[in-house]
């Protein structure tokens, strides 16, 4: 019986891409790793895999009939869901690899997202040079572009597939052992314009906690929420809630409607703030929607354009945040930096806007419902002032309890 997490799973559509997946299998096997192949085809014509498509389809909550519908689109979605359930029943799964186009990518990546962080996951996909966010999500999936289509073996595809197979084998053979630390983990959120604050907080806490910092780029917030949901943290410092601005104003770095949802559901101790809510993110300046063209825009780089939020938008965000804070039943401290919410929201900087900031603070204060374990703290400091970092740490120690360094 193979030991836990020791087998590589090669999954794909064995009705159309058997040769490619058998090639992946052979290259991984040559590295001394056990392999199981899995058929994900929805046509009923796949052959040659160790695990049949019917076996995978049986893991759909509504059974295999929900998968083999005869409609390609719905069948792919259902098989992807079934495969995601299937992989969670395989304790020996030590790595997962697949290759394909849009259909194959949609079939395999839901299962990759369902696997724990750290389990090697590699998708050779013709979509890998485009926007992969819908496929990768908050997971540690490695996407590799095949150059040619994943259709037959040739001098290019063999090289790319071999590289992919060897990469998975290398990740499995040289996996990092669990980190030997007694320090509990905490999560923090950061953006470039809140970096001084988060770095100061991390420096003060890193002797007592394993500090995991998440870049608030939409996917970063989703990863943050996913780990909260899994119980990974004894507490969090959600200093940078900027993704809420993108959610409500149509920016490109939204983490979705469920931002703050994991805190509500898990009651994880929460210290939060309003970091970088002065901005909405867009790509190159030419991509900014026409109805925002007249706004205060700041070109942060060739592919990043920031838009200053207005008092009306800040009030809307304040209400949105406070309503979610009111639903948190765990310990909560939410800190307001009244002199500025980012590096460029201070006197002399392009997004300095005390009227807009006051609309944010006022909306939060008017909507927030204090409770014995839920408090709002207002400080006459900007978010990157060292004293604000001190206040965040003090609030965290208050609700989590000091852990000796």
pLDDT score, position 3: 55
pLDDT score, position 1: 41
pLDDT score, position 121: 98
Closest among 297, 257, 304 to 278, alpha carbons compared: 297
Closest among 33, 142, 51, 158 to 97, alpha carbons compared: 142
**Domain range summary for the chain, segments of one domain joined by +:** 7-173, 185-400
pLDDT score, position 158: 94
- Do strands 332-337 and 185-190 pair parallel, antiparallel, or not at all (unpaired)? unpaired
CA distance 363 to 354: 14
- Do strands 185-190 and 142-144 pair parallel, antiparallel, or not at all (unpaired)? unpaired
Phi, psi for residue 87 in degrees, rounded to 5: -65, -25
CA distance 356 to 212: 31
Token code pair at residue 136 = 């990768």
CA distance 288 to 129: 23
Looking at CATH, the fold of the domain delimited by 185-400 is given as: Rossmann fold (3.40.50)
Which residues fall within 8 angstroms of residue 178, CB to CB, at 6 or more apart?
none
Q: Would 7-173 and 185-400 be classified into the same CATH topology?
A: yes
Q: What does the longest C-alpha to C-alpha distance in the chain come to?
A: 68
- CATH code of 7-173, in short, is 3.40.50.12020
pLDDT in tens, the chain (405 residues): 455 679 999 999 999 999 999 999 999 999 999 999 999 999 989 999 999 999 999 999 999 999 999 998 999 999 999 999 999 999 999 999 999 999 999 999 999 999 988 999 999 999 998 889 889 988 899 999 999 888 888 999 999 999 999 999 999 999 777 666 678 999 999 999 999 999 999 999 999 999 999 999 999 999 999 999 989 999 999 999 999 999 999 999 999 999 999 999 999 999 999 999 999 999 999 999 999 999 999 998 888 999 999 999 999 999 999 999 999 999 999 999 999 999 999 999 999 999 999 999 999 999 999 999 999 999 999 999 999 999 999 999 999 987 655
Beta bridge pairs of residue 336 = 378
pLDDT score, position 5: 75
pTM: 0.80
Which residues fall within 8 angstroms of residue 33, CB to CB, at 6 or more apart?
6, 7, 8, 94, 95, 169, 172, 173
């Amino acid at each position: 019986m193979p030991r836990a997490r020791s087998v590589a799973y090669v999954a794909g559509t064995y009705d159309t891409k058997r040769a490619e997946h058998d090639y992946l299998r052979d290259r991984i096997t040559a590295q001394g790793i056990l392999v199981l192949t899995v058929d994900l085809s929805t046509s009923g014509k796949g052959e040659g895999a160790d695990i049949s498509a019917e076996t995978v389809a049986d893991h759909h909550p509504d059974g295999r009939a929900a998968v083999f519908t005869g409609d390609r689109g719905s069948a792919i979605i259902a098989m992807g869901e079934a495969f995601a359930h299937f992989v969670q029943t395989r304790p020996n799964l030590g790595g997962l690899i697949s290759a394909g186009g849009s259909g194959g990518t949609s079939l395999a990546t839901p299962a990759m997202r369902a696997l724990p962080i750290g389990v090697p996951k590699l998708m050779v996909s013709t979509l890998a040079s485009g926007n992969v966010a819908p496929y990768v999500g908050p997971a540690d999936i490695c996407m590799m572009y095949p150059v040619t289509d994943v259709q037959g073996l040739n001098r290019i595809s063999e090289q790319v597939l071999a590289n992919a197979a060897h990469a998975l084998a290398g990740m499995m053979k040289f996996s990092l052992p669990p980190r030997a630390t007694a320090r509990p983990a905490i999560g923090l959120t950061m953006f470039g314009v809140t970096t001084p604050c988060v770095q100061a907080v991390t420096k003060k806490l890193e002797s007592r906690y394993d500090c995991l910092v998440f870049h608030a780029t939409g996917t970063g917030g989703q990863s943050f929420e996913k780990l909260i949901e899994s119980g990974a943290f004894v507490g969090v410092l959600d200093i940078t809630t900027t993704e809420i601005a993108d959610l409500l104003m149509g920016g490109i770095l939204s983490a979705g409607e469920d931002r703050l949802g994991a805190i509500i559901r898990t009651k994880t101790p929460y210290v939060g703030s309003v970091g970088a809510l002065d901005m909405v993110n867009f790509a190159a300046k030419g991509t900014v929607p026409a109805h925002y063209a007249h706004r205060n825009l700041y070109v942060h780089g060739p592919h990043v354009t920031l838009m200053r939020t207005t008092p009306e938008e800040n009030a809307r965000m304040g209400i949105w945040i406070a309503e979610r804070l009111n639903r948190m039943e765990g310990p909560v401290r939410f800190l307001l930096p009244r002199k500025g919410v980012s590096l460029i929201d201070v006197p002399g900087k392009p997004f300095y806007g005390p009227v807009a900031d006051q609309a944010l603070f006022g909306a939060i204060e008017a909507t927030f419902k204090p409770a014995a374990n839920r408090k709002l703290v207002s400080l006459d400091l900007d978010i990157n002032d060292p004293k604000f970092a001190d206040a965040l740490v003090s609030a965290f120690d208050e609700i989590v309890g000091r852990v000796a360094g």
